[in-house]
Amino acid sequence: MRAIRSHEVFHVALVVNPFASRVDERVLGDVVGVLQRVARVETLSTQRRGHATELARAATGIDAVVVLGGDGVVNEAVNGIHPDVPLAALPGGGTNVFVRALGLPRDAVRAASHVADALRTRRTRRIGLGSVNGRRFAFACGLGLDAAAVRTIEAHRSRRGRPGDAAFALALARAVPHFRRPLLDIRGVGRAASALIANADPYTYAGTIPLHVAPEARFELGLDLVAPECLTAASLPRFLRYMVRGDGQQRAEDVLYAHDVDSIEIRCDRPFPLQVDGEDLGDVEEVHVHAERNALSVLA
């Protein structure tokens, strides 16, 4: 683990998505004010998709990269940040799974106070990441059902702004008919209709409700796989109830599981949608997923 330099004023790069749903000039000003209590803050605004990766990659010789935005911009930063530079994430999007999984408040200014304290006391936590076909993810990767729902929601967002959780639930239900049959061949595990791969628990949130796809998944371990063998309109409510309960002992006979693994290989009988950290990566015919243990230092 890299020790943050011991001097009175730190230097952080604040990477901001100015278009995130919960970012405005007031929030940004308050966040900068909190961080400036302990650090010199260089504010960098993203201008296009993928820009946060470039900004994080260019942020060298500093004490931390702090990201203000949703899970998408956090994912971009994770894919560019140097291994010896700590990362902090502040909630600026709609769901903010990564921030909440690290135990930070949903309010960006309050979360910034926690991050400032962690920076001041040089408190870091080492976590693992996942990667799929070379793209890193912080907390989740999905092939099939949830990826199709993510795609629908992204299209809805581009036209009308961020949809609510009811819209996501509706998108899931409408995607079910396309993923009924076991068209995925998961090497060494079996055949399934969809695959959800978790690096932490919860997998995501429905408003204030955490969804525990893989209750045993932890940032400090490898990856967990949960893959329903088939999906129907009748089985989906049961699967959703399992996720809300978060009871890892109540495993269904028609769902495939793997815990704390280093790699997962999946071949698709036809092109399947793929998502990482809630971002649509298009259709794929095979995926190679790997755990990157102890890959990232975070301020939390």
The CATH number of the domain where 29 resides is what?
A: 3.40.50.10330
Q: What is the DSSP pairing of strand 223-228 with strand 255-261?
A: antiparallel
272, pLDDT greater than 90: yes
Percent of the chain with pLDDT over 90: 73
Closest CA to 119 of 12, 27, 14, 32: 12
Do the beta carbons of residue 132 and residue 276 sit within 8 Å?
yes
Spell 51-63 as b/e; 16+ CB within 10 A means b.
bbbbbbeebeebb
Work out the average pLDDT over 53-76.
97
208 in the same domain as 283: yes
pLDDT of 213-270, one tens digit each? 999 999 999 999 999 998 877 777 777 777 667 655 456 778 999 999 999 999 999 9
261 in the same domain as 152: yes
More confident residue, 105 or 231: 105
Of 82, 103, 123, the domain-final residue:
123
| pLDDT computed for residue 7 by the predictor | 46
Average pLDDT, the chain: 90
Of 75, 95, 123, the domain-final residue:
123
As a whole number of angstroms, the distance between CA 2 and CA 183 comes to 44
2 pLDDT band, cuts 50/70/90, is very low
Q: What distances in angstroms separate CA 239 from CA 196, 210, 251, 270, one per listed residue?
A: 12, 14, 10, 24
21 in the same domain as 49: yes
| pLDDT computed for residue 45 by the predictor | 98
- What range defines the domain where residue 181 resides? 135-293
CATH of the domain at 206: 2.60.200.40
pTM: 0.89
pLDDT of 116-131, one tens digit each? 999 999 999 999 999 9
188 in the same domain as 52: no
Of 75, 90, 123, the domain-final residue:
123
166 in the same domain as 73: no
As a whole number of angstroms, the distance between CA 68 and CA 14 comes to 7
Amino acid in position 275: Q
